[in-house]
């Protein structure tokens, strides 16, 4: 048999494939129709729309982090600076934990020149509400004119760990608890 399938003749293989192809086309049509119905539903009911405006605090224009937690990355030139910032963040309760990752190499453009430096990376875990206070503390203790301070939402995590972050940072200066 030229089809390579045991027990299926060429003609029956073709008819089975055509039938399967018809089922695939029907499935695709149902899928596409469902997508159009879903889009129409979302367009007709504004409360289901997720836009940039929905993710802004009313009146402030600031983005809202829906997860409640952030991982913040900061590069530093030395262990001494890293420890100084880490201790300031944890003692002021704007961060639950700061990991100091040694020996990274950063390549970047500064004042028209390509630079390459050895740095350390601070991996900071906090509640989203503390980001502004965290940023102020980093800037106050950082030697760079433009320190790298990048916060990303924590979308998933161990619930006991996230609970611990919340517990130890609830006394932070920006907390309402």
pLDDT-derived band at 38 (thresholds 50, 70, 90) equals low
Q: Tokens 């129409």 — which residue?
A: 40
Q: State the CATH number of the domain containing residue 122.
A: 3.30.70.120
Residue 23 shares a structural domain with residue 103: no
Residue 127 confidence class, pLDDT cut points 50, 70, 90: very high
Describe the strand order of the beta sheet including 69-76 as a list of residue ranges. 97-110, 113-127, 69-76, 149-153
Same domain, 43 and 75: no
Domain annotation covers residue 42: yes
One domain, residues 89 and 25: no
The number of distinct structural domains making up the chain is 2
47 has pLDDT over 80: no
Is 60 exceeded by the pLDDT of residue 57? no
Does 60 reside within a domain?
no
Flag whether 64 is in a domain.
Answer: no
My answer on whether 120 and 85 are in the same domain is yes
Dihedral over Cα of 65, 70, 76, 80: its sign: positive
Q: Return mean pLDDT, the chain.
A: 78
Residue at 33 is within a domain: yes
Pair 13, 75 in one domain = no
- Residue-wise pLDDT tens digits, 61-73: 554 545 799 999 9
Full residue range of the structural domain in which residue 6 is found: 1-49
pLDDT tens for each residue of 77-121: 999 999 999 999 999 999 999 999 999 999 999 999 999 999 999
Q: Is 97 inside a domain boundary?
A: yes
Residue 8 in any domain: the answer is: yes
Summarize pLDDT for 12-33 with one digit per residue, the tens: 545 555 556 556 555 565 655 5
Is 57 inside any structural domain? Answer: no
Q: Give the number of other Cβ atoms within 10 Å of residue 125's Cβ.
A: 22
What pLDDT, on the 0 to 100 scale, is given for residue 56? 44
Q: Is residue 164 helix, strand or coil?
A: helix
Cα–Cα dist 93/87, whole Å? 10
Same domain, 10 and 96: no
Say whether both 45 and 96 belong to one domain. Answer: no
**Global pTM exceeds 0.85:** no
């Amino acid at each position: 048999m030229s089809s390579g399938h045991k027990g299926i003749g060429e003609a029956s293989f073709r008819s089975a494939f055509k039938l399967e192809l018809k089922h695939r086309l029907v499935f695709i049509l149902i899928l596409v129709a469902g997508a159009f119905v879903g889009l129409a539903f979302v367009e007709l009911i504004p409360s289901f729309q997720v836009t940039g405006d929905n993710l802004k605090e009313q009146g402030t224009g600031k983005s809202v982090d829906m997860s409640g937690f952030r991982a913040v990355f900061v590069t530093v030139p030395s262990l001494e600076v890293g420890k100084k910032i880490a201790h300031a963040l944890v003692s002021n309760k704007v961060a639950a934990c700061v990991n100091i990752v040694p020996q990274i190499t950063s390549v970047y453009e500064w004042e028209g020149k390509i630079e390459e430096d050895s740095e350390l990376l601070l991996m900071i875990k906090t509640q989203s509400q503390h980001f502004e206070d965290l940023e102020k503390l980093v800037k106050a203790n950082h030697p760079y004119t433009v320190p790298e301070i990048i916060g990303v939402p924590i979308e998933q995590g161990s619930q006991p760990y996230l609970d611990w972050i919340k517990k130890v940072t609830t006394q932070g200066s920006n907390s309402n608890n």
